[in-house]
Amino acid sequence: MTNIYRRFRALFLTALLTTWVKIHRNCTVNGLLVCSAKFPRLELAGRVTLGRLSFEGVLTAINLGARKGATLTMGNWIGINQGVSIVALNSITIGDHTLISDYVTIYDSMYHPTLPGEETFTAPVVIGRNCLIGNGAMIMPGVTIGDNVVVGARAVVNKDIPANCIVAGAPAKVLRTYETPEGWFRYPEKLAGH
């Protein structure tokens, strides 16, 4: 009975979320939004473009969206786990087949000045295709992450990261590089559940 309830709940939340977001004037949805746990908190004051996404927030809701004048663009086959916060104040772009682990935060703004008399720092964030962002990692404003990058758990990414590498630490440093076979994806369509 529990499995039937979970499946029905996931189907209901998926239909509700996809329908609600599609009718919002600032949001473009290019695929199904699969929600198998808590309903995400969406901020749709800015321009939001979503591909096929999977929300897996069992214990903690996911914060996602764009504030007025900002843009959030997410590709297809992206998996987002619980406690993730991605709210654009400037511009955030995330490529296809990217996996975002629990409690990741992606910032394109510092939200407040760090010193008296300074402007609040905001800069676009771009995350490439086929990336894996580890548990609790922070992506800071102005960062570009290349394709096929693995960001280690609790890493603080405050500088651009080249493609095909593994980074970890605070601040994040490249630990090693690797080759990615053509057509290999972390989150292939056949496993995406939609």
What is the set of active-site residues? Answer: 112
Nearest in space to 75 (alpha carbons), one of 54, 53, 42: 53
Q: Which helix (H) or strand (E) holds 44?
A: strand 41-44
Nearest in space to 10 (alpha carbons), one of 48, 57, 42: 57
Q: Is residue 36 helix, strand or coil?
A: coil
Which is it for strands 53-56 and 125-127: parallel, antiparallel or unpaired? unpaired
Q: Is residue 107 helix, strand or coil?
A: coil
Is 39 buried (19+), middle (13-18) or exposed (0-12) by CB count in 10 A? middle
Q: Which helix (H) or strand (E) holds 11?
A: helix 2-22
